[in-house]
Amino acid sequence: MMTGLPYPTYDADNHFYEPPEALMRHLPKKFRNAVSYVQVNGRTKLAIGGQISDYIPDPTFGHVAAPGKLVDWFSGNNPDGMTMRECMGKPIAPPNSWRTGEERLKELDEQGLTGTLMFPTLVSAVEERMGQYDIKAMCAIMHSLNQWMLEEWKFNLDNRIFTAPVISLADIDWAVKELEWAIENGAKTVLVRPAPVPGIAGSRSPGFEEFDPFWARVNESKIFVSLHASDSGYDRFVRMWIGGNEFRPFAPSAFSHILKPAARVIADTCTALICHGVFDRFPDVKVATIENGAAWVSDLLKTMAKAYKVFPQDFKYDPVQRFRENVFVAPFYEDSLDGLKDVVGADQVLFGSDYPHPEGVASPLQFIERLDAYSEEEQQKVMGGNLLNLLERSGSLQ
């Protein structure tokens, strides 16, 4: 196997592009109207709950932007004021390595990666659009995708590709059953949307005790939870000001960029888990924040430190220390990383390339360019050691 660095490297954020059958192959007939691919003016669109979604412009992923096309744009290197779409350039047809596990293994060799976490691309639209009115259908769609991923990618492919089944806590009985099924089928992590848990009667914190059966099994199994960025619904705080009816990640503005709803929701999710006692009741639970960046971390911990002084009676344990022990952070390539290790410690930092998405780096190991302020030992932890430790909590990879 080709090695790009002189130690094992594990990427915390890779994606595949799922075909329509990923959602549909195992979906029971009674839920077939809940999600479908429809033709609108000659283009294929995804309909969720009977509503056409523009969340992903081409939900079949017949053509996609090339990896790395948006790195400069997200880094603030856009002097000509090009739009996101303009920066994406001419779309390309996804190679087989972005569609199938066996081909992806070959690409990992070419990239010098030992292993990676693997996440779907499209499913993040489902929970926000269905979780408040048809939870049974939403869970059925998620399980259909999870079954397809198990068949086509495996949850642990050759101890190198670790695909994350998707779980919503909206139906806690289903969530526990799905978690158990995932563990039985080799999952090392599961994807839980960082957001309030949706429900017919309204949303609530994932840290509330009603969800303890899920966290108890996570704690017991030592599997870890990936809080991967998704459509959280927090774009409503942007739409309160400017209108609109749906989150469209490929149509941002200066206003939405400054409001940073994505950074807000991951900070709020971590706050909910800490303030509502998940890590107090289940101290072996570990969560990794994936594709949420790290710009929010320092301010959150400062706020937690102040809250601990104002409301000491509301905490069983120092919330800042709790974060440093139970939360792992995968920063963006464009983030200022020098101070992150001082805030959370190098042991809690993960490297995530977001490959092959356009906002991620074109070559995953480019990420080490951002770690000049880290010692060689710290670089080794960030580029693979920390994630390997998380993966091996639930069983050795040897």
Question: Taking 70 as the threshold, does the pLDDT of residue 244 lie above it?
Answer: no
Question: Taking 60 as the threshold, does the pLDDT of residue 247 lie above it?
Answer: no
pLDDT digits (tens, 9 = 90+) for 54-70: 777 888 999 999 999 98
Task: Please tell me the least confidently modeled range out of 72-86, 105-119, 143-157, 254-268.
Answer: 254-268
Question: Taking 80 as the threshold, does the pLDDT of residue 245 lie above it?
Answer: no
pLDDT digits (tens, 9 = 90+) for 262-283: 788 999 999 999 999 999 999 9
Q: What are the start-end ranges of the H helices in 153-296? A: 172-184, 212-221, 236-242, 254-259, 261-275, 278-281
**Cβ neighbourhood burial of 159 (10 Å; 0-12, 13-18, 19+):** middle
pLDDT digits (tens, 9 = 90+) for 320-335: 999 999 999 999 999 9
Mean pLDDT of the chain: 92
Q: What are the start-end ranges of the H helices in 276-345? A: 278-281, 297-310, 319-326, 340-344
What is the Cα–Cα distance from 298 to 320, expressed in whole angstroms? Answer: 10
Question: Taking 90 as the threshold, does the pLDDT of residue 86 lie above it?
Answer: no
Which residue segments constitute the domains of the chain, with CATH numbers given?
10-31+67-392 (3.20.20.140)
Structure tokens at 353: 């390339």
Stated pTM of the model: 0.94
Q: Are 232 and 39 in contact (CB under 8 A)?
A: no
Question: Taking 50 as the threshold, does the pLDDT of residue 2 lie above it?
Answer: no
**Cβ neighbourhood burial of 289 (10 Å; 0-12, 13-18, 19+):** buried
Side by side, the strands of the sheet bearing 189-191 are: 189-191, 224-228, 287-290, 327-329
Task: Kindly report each contact of residues 258-262 with a partner whose C-beta sits within 8 Å and lies 24 or more positions away, as own/partner.
Answer: 260/295, 260/296, 261/232, 261/234, 261/235, 261/237, 262/229, 262/232, 262/234, 262/292, 262/293
Q: Average of pLDDT values for 78-103? A: 91
Percent of the chain residues past pLDDT 90, beyond the cut:
73
pLDDT at res. 1: 37
53 in helix, strand or coil? strand
| Residue corresponding to tokens 């009977």 | 50
